[in-house]
Chains A and B, each alone.
Chain A
Amino acid sequence: MSPRRTSAGGSIDRTRTIRFTFDGEAHTGHAGDTLASALLANGVSLVGRSFKYHRPRGVFSAGVDEPNALVTILREGVREPNIPATQIELHDGLRAESQNRFPSLAWDFGALNQLGGRLLGAGFYYKTFMGPVAGPLKGTRFWMMCEHVIRRAAGLGRADYEADPSRYEHMNAFCDVLVVGGGIAGLMAAEAAAKAGKRVILAEQEKQTGGFARWSGETIDAKPADAWAAEITARLSALDNVRLLTRTAVWGYYDGNTLAALERVNDHVARTPKGHPRQRHWTIRAGTVVLATGALERPIVFPGNDCPGVMLAGAVRRYAGEFGVLPGEKTVLFTNNDSAYQAAAAIRRAGGHVAAIVDVRKQIGDEATALATEAGVVPLTGHAIVGTKGGKALSGAVVQAFDADTGRLSGEARPIDCDSLAVSGGWQPVIHLASQAGGKPVWDAEKQAFLPPEPTQRWIGAGAFLGETGSVEALASGRNAGLKSADKRPSRAKLPETAPSALDLTPAPVLEIRGKGKAFVDFQHDVTADDVRLAHREGFVSVEHLKRYTTLGMATDQGKTSNVPGLAIMAAARGIEIPQAGTTRFRPPFSPVAIGALAAERYGDLKPERLTPLHDWHEEHGAEMTPAGLWHRPLAYAGAGETVEQAYIREASAVRRSVGLVDVSTLGKIAVKGPDAATFLDRVYTNTFSTLKVGKARYGLMLREDGLVFDDGTTWRLGETDFLMTTTTANAGPVMQHLEYCLDILWPDLKVHLTSVTDQWAGAAIAGPKARAVLERCVTGTAVDNDALPFMGIVHGEIDGAPVMICRLSFSGELAYEVYCGAGHGVHVWEALLEAGEPFGITPYGMEALGALRIEKGHVTGAEIDGRTTARDLYLDGMLSKKKSFIGSGLMDRPALIDRNRLRLVGVVSLDGQPLGGGAHLVESGNRDEPGDSIGHVTGYCYSPALEKYIGLALVKGGKTRHGTRAFLSDPLRKRFGQVEIVSHHFFDPDGERMHG
């Protein structure tokens, strides 16, 4: 056993040895250890390098507030950076790495930054990287040149490039009472509320409930406090109306008493069991919230306070009490209140040696004196620590006489030999959630702490959260909060008994000892007390400016140990009181949350997907699928040895030569019915539908109210009051919502009913010169010749027994039909069409061929209808009715929208025989290195089998006026530059003879 581990005591299981590695070196710990406690037990004091100066750092706290001991965990193929070692439960095979060091933790090249420390103070970037006003490094160029060096030098852990294979879950929960914090106050509150019949959720961020009672060594109801906590927890778990969530941090408090929590379900085991989530994100809606979130200890700021071996006194007490670990052989305590005396006694009881207690106060009470006596020392009152000795490990502290009233040091500074220094600057209630809920924290000059605000939502505080630090008070306020949450009056029944404490945890108002050397306020972001004063001198005096200028409190720990000291130093610099200096409002999250947990099922295996009725057929026939929103559509049906490009060229050629078949089931379909349906369509489309004959379809264009194009599609008149509208795949949802808005809000008097029927129909478009011949072979119950089914005509019939609706319309420019049938008949009809088309070599085609055919025809899609184009930009002016008003007609004629020099639709042809690129810019200059300003961009491109060239559509300034001119494609990201000719976007069959034939 390690010399730092006590032979007995604590809640670890000494019979179970756990093996883990830190920076590749093998260590052992015990069941119940955290990574931090195990490292301390192994005598590892150096665990990381600091953010900016690369200073050696060690474990500073024992909980969620840890600013220093951040490590990277390598687990199940993923590296997760910046995890506090104090929050990692030790398990077999755990692999952890230190961060921000090169080549190794002990010999770190970046530590040279310390020599330049004066240069790297607050505002360093802003001051240093304001480039010269002229020359090659003008403006931000100097910064850009230096950035990649600096980004490597400063920072913490490195994220992974690999995708996170873990699964995350999202859970919604409802309860009458949510108790946040499973310490003794929270446990009492939960039991009181549960006994009153309320549905209770108790969330505790650590692995088990009990909080402070787990290591305090106190007695409650004549039992060790941890045993008492275990008993009440067992009683609660037995209740049906109580849900206990451990390893669950409530991190956000939102409107309507909605709270967010993160449950670390499987981070404490070596391997996530199959089917389990790694973490679970909870959204909890609570009638009442009991905030029993406790308090966190603050450090005192003094020179050299970041040396590995300096820790919070409460943390030292916890390591001794819970883990049986002594952080050093000789410990000095430094304090401004009585809580360090409890830590001193705990060290002594665990068999450690206390070298000194240094107290800034002149006098201490009897109980503290008794604890000091138990620890075997006479407190050095009226003294302060003014420095530390040691580099990678503490070897001593420097002490000097100090007057707490004047802040003056006097007498000679003398060293004390020690390898551990425990500091207490008093306690700050964890008021983050109360602040998030709304309301400003209140500074209490007596307690020297921010207390919770008046509730602005339904929450009740309990325990140390209220600024009361004793267990007697916690038991009472916990029970009262539980009763109050159940609308019951405080009870006079006997509370669990525990010894009242006479200790004075109210700190003397000393949070900084000034002296020579760097004194850190925010360890994680390397913000020193001098940085705070520098911010003051440079005018960044408001709390919000201080925070942003120095980055104080902006690291992953969100300033849990640094906020109050930082504020105190700024207040002192300004000569005002802390409440006048203000406090920042806390924002979620209280502790870091993985983005994967927030995304939960919206990413990965459980992401919703929409599949057409033909999906399986596509996959069975070799289609490469491509996502289109939530849909999956076939990209191309590449055969053996065929590339996607070869496949789509083959498919598109087949359509032009003979006949092809494509799945169009994803198009949005909306049934528009009712006596006013035609009137309604006249108002939402730019063109007229009331004149459309039953049994005919019409292409329609929709604008937004601002006059820009919204969507296009065909709408079919199936009956006098019965229309079937189709929309683009991407806009099916937005169009539906737009139509509903119009009916609900603009024209509630119109008698129209809308139903989304996208999923009810399967659709196949059959296109090519032989399309009609194919239909003639398989359609029964109707003729399909030019008289029965003219362009834009609709007929009803059957294909192999399945009822179908056929509309003759064309996206490809060929003679083409869209065949719709009930979704359940989709595959049946599709296969019947293929069978009928066999003599003509019918070819299924995918999105790439569909795209090539439409580009050849100059048809627009979402790439051109990009929310910035007008109907005129797309040369669809003819669609704008002059006889009526419609959505968008009020603003579509604004001068800037009818400017002839706008980006307008053209065709482009590659002159160098190379492909164009989607999104590539067009320029006038042929100088590849100085291409000049863009005149437009390519919206879609393909190889045109009909033209045997690479062509594209583009939006270009002036549009048609540039037909016949040349320009250059400039695509530096893809290292492509080449000449193009600007032509009409109607590349192929401009008069439409083929589709009308």
Chain B
Amino acid sequence: MLIDCPHCGPRDLAEFSYQGDATRTRPDPASTDTQAWLDYVYNRPNPAGRHREYWQHTGGCRAHLVVERDTLTHEIHAVAPVRGNAKSGDAA
């Protein structure tokens, strides 16, 4: 799998760390809604097909990227840095 890092160019999977689902939303930090926290930490959709994920370019620029990847074919449809986007996935 190659990920086209917006800073560094196309790089091998080995340079990246998977950093989880990019579609989840972190509850308000002061929230006491345990269910909302449990959903955030543990419950994940497991879509067969396109999925938005965080990948960190740990062996390169170390930026976190939002990667839109097809979980069936591993085809990558889009890569964008988290920073500089309108809003990050968790904060959205």
Measured between beta carbons, the chain A residues less than 8 angstroms from B88 are 744-746, 748
- A890–B29 Cα distance when bound, in Å, is 7
CB-CB contacts below 8 Å: B20-42 with A? 26-27, 29-32, 34, 37-38, 40-42
Please judge, given known A-B contacts A255-B1, A683-B29, whether A748 and B41 are in contact too, CB under 8 Å.
no
**Contact yes or no, A890 B37, CB < 8 A:** yes
- A235–B46 Cα distance when bound, in Å, is 52
Which listed residue, A438, A746, A885, A889, touches B91 by the CB 8 Å rule?
A746
Measured between beta carbons, the chain B residues less than 8 angstroms from A747 are 91
Please judge, given known A-B contacts A256-B2, A745-B82, A891-B37, whether A740 and B73 are in contact too, CB under 8 Å.
no
* A705 beta carbon closer than 8 Å to chain B: yes
Which listed residue, B2, B19, B30, B38, touches A741 by the CB 8 Å rule?
B19
- A886–B30 Cα distance when bound, in Å, is 9
**Contact yes or no, A745 B89, CB < 8 A:** yes
Measured between beta carbons, the chain A residues less than 8 angstroms from B54 are 741, 745
B55 to chain A, nearest CB (A): 11
**Contact yes or no, A737 B56, CB < 8 A:** yes
**Contact yes or no, B64 A740, CB < 8 A:** yes
**Contact yes or no, A748 B83, CB < 8 A:** yes
Measured between beta carbons, the chain B residues less than 8 angstroms from A746 are 26, 88, 90-91
Question: Would you list the 5 A-B pairs with minimal beta carbon distance, nearest first?
Answer: A890-B37, A744-B64, A885-B29, A255-B74, A256-B2
User: From B22, which residue of chain A is reached at the shortest CB distance?
Assistant: A745
- A683–B27 Cα distance when bound, in Å, is 14
- A772–B31 Cα distance when bound, in Å, is 47
Please judge, given known A-B contacts A255-B74, A706-B41, whether A745 and B64 are in contact too, CB under 8 Å.
yes
Please judge, given known A-B contacts A706-B41, A744-B64, whether A894 and B82 are in contact too, CB under 8 Å.
no
B19 to chain A, nearest CB (A): 6
* B44 beta carbon closer than 8 Å to chain A: no
Bitwise, A249-266 to B at CB < 8 A (1) or not (0) is 000001110100000000
Please judge, given known A-B contacts A745-B54, A745-B91, whether A705 and B41 are in contact too, CB under 8 Å.
yes
Q: What are 28 contact pairs spanning A and B, CB under 8 A?
A: A256-B74, A258-B12, A283-B12, A683-B29, A740-B62, A740-B64, A741-B54, A741-B56, A744-B64, A744-B82, A745-B19, A745-B54, A745-B82, A745-B89, A746-B26, A746-B88, A747-B91, A748-B82, A885-B29, A885-B30, A889-B29, A890-B29, A890-B32, A890-B34, A890-B40, A891-B34, A891-B38, A891-B41
* A114 beta carbon closer than 8 Å to chain B: no
- A890–B31 Cα distance when bound, in Å, is 7
Point out which of A741, A745, A891 has the most chain B C-beta atoms below 10 A from its C-beta: A745
CB-CB contacts below 8 Å: B28-76 with A? 29-32, 34, 37-38, 40-42, 54, 56, 58, 62-64, 73-74
B78 to chain A, nearest CB (A): 16
* A580 beta carbon closer than 8 Å to chain B: no
* A456 beta carbon closer than 8 Å to chain B: yes
- A455–B58 Cα distance when bound, in Å, is 33
Measured between beta carbons, the chain B residues less than 8 angstroms from A889 are 29
- A615–B32 Cα distance when bound, in Å, is 49
Please judge, given known A-B contacts A744-B82, A746-B88, whether A737 and B17 are in contact too, CB under 8 Å.
yes
- A256–B30 Cα distance when bound, in Å, is 43
User: From B54, which residue of chain A is reached at the shortest CB distance?
Assistant: A745
Further 6 A-B residue pairs, CB within 8 A, beyond A706-B41, A745-B88, A745-B90 = A254-B1, A256-B1, A705-B40, A741-B64, A744-B64, A889-B29
Q: Is the interface of B mostly helix, strand, loop or mixed?
A: loop
Bitwise, A284-324 to B at CB < 8 A (1) or not (0) is 01000000000000000000000000000000000000000
B76 to chain A, nearest CB (A): 9
User: From A746, which residue of chain B is reached at the shortest CB distance?
Assistant: B90
- A285–B29 Cα distance when bound, in Å, is 44
Measured between beta carbons, the chain B residues less than 8 angstroms from A886 are 29
User: From A885, which residue of chain B is reached at the shortest CB distance?
Assistant: B29
Measured between beta carbons, the chain B residues less than 8 angstroms from A737 are 17, 56, 58
Interface residues on A, range: 20 to 34
Q: How many residues of B contact A (CB 8 A)?
A: 31
**Contact yes or no, A890 B27, CB < 8 A:** yes
User: From A736, which residue of chain B is reached at the shortest CB distance?
Assistant: B62
A770 to chain B, nearest CB (A): 43
Bitwise, A311-348 to B at CB < 8 A (1) or not (0) is 00000000000000000000000000000000000000
CB-CB contacts below 8 Å: A149-164 with B? none
User: From B17, which residue of chain A is reached at the shortest CB distance?
Assistant: A737
- A283–B1 Cα distance when bound, in Å, is 12
A730 to chain B, nearest CB (A): 17
Measured between beta carbons, the chain A residues less than 8 angstroms from B64 are 740-741, 744-745
Measured between beta carbons, the chain B residues less than 8 angstroms from A748 are 82-83, 88, 91
B12 to chain A, nearest CB (A): 8
CB-CB contacts below 8 Å: A872-900 with B? 885-886, 889-891, 894
A193 to chain B, nearest CB (A): 22
- A432–B34 Cα distance when bound, in Å, is 50
Measured between beta carbons, the chain B residues less than 8 angstroms from A745 are 19, 54, 64, 82, 88-91
CB-CB contacts below 8 Å: A218-266 with B? 254-256, 258
Measured between beta carbons, the chain A residues less than 8 angstroms from B1 are 254-256, 258
CB-CB contacts below 8 Å: A430-484 with B? 438, 456
Measured between beta carbons, the chain B residues less than 8 angstroms from A705 are 37, 40-41
- A706–B43 Cα distance when bound, in Å, is 12
- A744–B26 Cα distance when bound, in Å, is 14
- A603–B17 Cα distance when bound, in Å, is 22
User: From A283, which residue of chain B is reached at the shortest CB distance?
Assistant: B12
Bitwise, A720-761 to B at CB < 8 A (1) or not (0) is 000000000000000001001100111110000000000000
**Contact yes or no, A894 B58, CB < 8 A:** no
**Contact yes or no, B56 A740, CB < 8 A:** yes
Measured between beta carbons, the chain A residues less than 8 angstroms from B91 are 745-748
- A891–B34 Cα distance when bound, in Å, is 7
- A705–B29 Cα distance when bound, in Å, is 11
A254 to chain B, nearest CB (A): 8
A991 to chain B, nearest CB (A): 36
User: From A886, which residue of chain B is reached at the shortest CB distance?
Assistant: B29
- A429–B9 Cα distance when bound, in Å, is 38
- A724–B34 Cα distance when bound, in Å, is 33
CB-CB contacts below 8 Å: A944-964 with B? none
User: From A438, which residue of chain B is reached at the shortest CB distance?
Assistant: B73
Measured between beta carbons, the chain A residues less than 8 angstroms from B63 are 744
Measured between beta carbons, the chain A residues less than 8 angstroms from B30 are 885
Measured between beta carbons, the chain A residues less than 8 angstroms from B58 are 737
- A894–B54 Cα distance when bound, in Å, is 27
Point out which of B42, B64, B89 has the most chain A C-beta atoms below 10 A from its C-beta: B64
B27 to chain A, nearest CB (A): 6
User: From A893, which residue of chain B is reached at the shortest CB distance?
Assistant: B34
- A770–B51 Cα distance when bound, in Å, is 61
User: From A683, which residue of chain B is reached at the shortest CB distance?
Assistant: B29
- A683–B29 Cα distance when bound, in Å, is 9
- A705–B36 Cα distance when bound, in Å, is 12
Measured between beta carbons, the chain A residues less than 8 angstroms from B56 are 737, 740-741, 744
- A885–B58 Cα distance when bound, in Å, is 28
- A889–B88 Cα distance when bound, in Å, is 22
Measured between beta carbons, the chain B residues less than 8 angstroms from A706 are 41-42
- A74–B54 Cα distance when bound, in Å, is 48
Measured between beta carbons, the chain B residues less than 8 angstroms from A885 are 29-30
Measured between beta carbons, the chain A residues less than 8 angstroms from B89 are 745
Which listed residue, A258, A456, A741, A894, touches B73 by the CB 8 Å rule?
A456
A547 to chain B, nearest CB (A): 23
B59 to chain A, nearest CB (A): 12
Measured between beta carbons, the chain A residues less than 8 angstroms from B29 are 683, 885-886, 889-890
Measured between beta carbons, the chain A residues less than 8 angstroms from B73 are 438, 456
Measured between beta carbons, the chain A residues less than 8 angstroms from B40 are 705, 890
Measured between beta carbons, the chain B residues less than 8 angstroms from A741 are 19, 54, 56, 64
A889 to chain B, nearest CB (A): 8
CB-CB contacts below 8 Å: A55-83 with B? none
B31 to chain A, nearest CB (A): 6
User: From B84, which residue of chain A is reached at the shortest CB distance?
Assistant: A748
A280 to chain B, nearest CB (A): 18
